[in-house]
Structure 1
């Protein structure tokens, strides 16, 4: 059986070596499609693949139609909105992610953005300190927990809201649970976003929540672009000269934000939360091991489609 690694943005060589070792140790064949420039190349490569490992690459109905032998797709990373889950289910293809493998990398970036915001984007003016400030973590999953762990070292007062995480789990980490997103935003000067992009969350972070934040508010988004209501974000930035927005997912209205709010807005050129050597290796090898376990033993532990 063949495992295809299809990556427009390739894994590091050491990660590919680790993937190859895991795949071949499992008695499977590895094929690589790296730095491809056209979808046709992907469609051709998937024709005889039993499994696919991807990063931000899109697996839609057309790809699934072309992959007649495909049994499993693993997204090396936490987010999986680049895979058409309904189409995968219709094709009887299992879709998995690799939760937790990129979490520390994303969390460290979130704290780095907080420091950058606190010091006025390193523009030479007097900034503030993170110590003693209230940090709200919106979604207390793998990344959120790592953010809390690191933020404790800065002496921040940490709150969290997660509709699906029991309060006692949050409290056990020395973090204060709150009952709603509204309470989180009203309470905390810093908010670190970690919610996925779903029907319920898309455009959910808008004027009502953001305008309720305390003076000197800083919103950090290392989650997904789609969760932000971008026109309403502009309105908040216009109304509040004290509000800052920092992200590693370039907004659709980036040019407008950069022009109007250069001193209070920052976006990395491309998404980079998981762009560390360690995360790259961890997620790739985890994806390979999950594929071997699925094909050999039927283990569906990290399946995300029904």
Structure 2
């Protein structure tokens, strides 16, 4: 089988080597397409591929239509909103992700950003400490659980809410289970977002929700840009000069957010999974899932059933 690795943002060389070792060891042919500049390049490369590994690359209807032999696409990472999963299902193409492989990297980034924020972006003025602060985690999946683990090391009081995770499961991790999303915002100094971008969550973090944060509250988003109602958040930041917004996903209205100097920070590019370890883990997991699919028909991580 021909497996295409299509990555605008390439894997680390060690990851590519590991992916090739897994796939070629199972008898597959590997084709590498890195830093491509247009969809046309991708359409050409995928035309005879049986399988595909991507990162944040967009797998659109046009890509799926061009891929006549495609049977499986694996997103090396957790989020898969860049893939048209519904159309892939129509075409009989399995879409998988690699949950958990990037979770520690994202969780560590949360605290790198938080320390930077509470120390006033290292501007020389006295800041505050995380110890004793109340941290709310919205969604308690792989990343959320890792955030909770690290927060305890900082001596923080940790709460979480996830409508798909029962309260007793959250409490079993030594984390307080908030009654609702609103309760989470009302009772925590900092709220960290780890929700996916779905029809239900897009722009759900809006003016009214964020306004429930107590005085000097911090919203941190290492999830998805689409979950933020940007006009609403901009309006709130203008009204409440005590709030901070920290993210590794540059908003569409970045120039407008930049006006809130000392209360807003965004990394130039999405950084959650940008570690050597996460890069390698996610890539090799994707390769192994493709091997399992072709060998045994394994679709354990399918997201478009």
Matched, 1:171 2:175: no
Distance 1:175 1:199 in 2: 28
Q: Which runs of 5+ in 1 are unaligned?
A: none
Matched, 1:294 2:293: yes
Distance 1:53 1:262 in 2: 39
Matched, 1:241 2:238: no
Deviation string for 1:70-107 (max 9, x for gaps)? 00000000000000011101110000000000000000
In the TM superposition, residue 38 of structure 1 has moved relative to its aligned partner by 1.4
TM-score normalised according to structure 1 size:
0.99
Distance 2:225 2:266 in 1: 11
Aligned to 2:260: 261
Distance 1:60 1:134 in 2: 41
Distance 1:266 1:137 in 2: 19
Matched, 1:219 2:232: no
Distance 2:130 2:282 in 1: 30
Aligned to 1:68: 68
**In structure 1, the residue corresponding to 2:96 is in which secondary structure?**
strand
In the TM superposition, residue 116 of structure 1 has moved relative to its aligned partner by 1.0
Aligned to 1:149: 149
Q: Which runs of 5+ in 2 are unaligned?
A: none
Distance 1:274 1:57 in 2: 14
Deviation string for 1:228-271 (max 9, x for gaps)? 0001101111111110000000001100110x201100000010
In the TM superposition, residue 18 of structure 1 has moved relative to its aligned partner by 0.3
In the TM superposition, residue 14 of structure 1 has moved relative to its aligned partner by 0.4
Distance 1:237 1:130 in 2: 22
Bigger drift between 28-37 and 188-197 goes to 28-37
Distance 2:19 2:300 in 1: 19
Alignment of 1:48-127 (within 5 A): 48-127=48-127
Aligned to 1:137: 137
In the TM superposition, residue 295 of structure 1 has moved relative to its aligned partner by 1.1
Distance 2:256 2:47 in 1: 43
**In structure 2, the residue corresponding to 1:241 is in which secondary structure?**
coil
In the TM superposition, residue 175 of structure 1 has moved relative to its aligned partner by 0.2
Distance 1:120 1:82 in 2: 34
Distance 2:99 2:291 in 1: 17
Distance 1:193 1:122 in 2: 24
In the TM superposition, residue 150 of structure 1 has moved relative to its aligned partner by 0.4
| Count of aligned pairs | 305
In the TM superposition, residue 160 of structure 1 has moved relative to its aligned partner by 0.1
Moved over 6 A (4+): none
Distance 1:109 1:262 in 2: 21
Distance 1:35 1:187 in 2: 44
In the TM superposition, residue 207 of structure 1 has moved relative to its aligned partner by 1.1
Distance 2:236 2:121 in 1: 19
Distance 1:35 1:211 in 2: 41
Matched, 1:205 2:205: yes
Deviation string for 1:124-176 (max 9, x for gaps)? 11111100000000000000000000010000000000000111211111100
Q: What is the alpha-carbon root mean square deviation over aligned residues? A: 0.7
Aligned to 2:44: 44
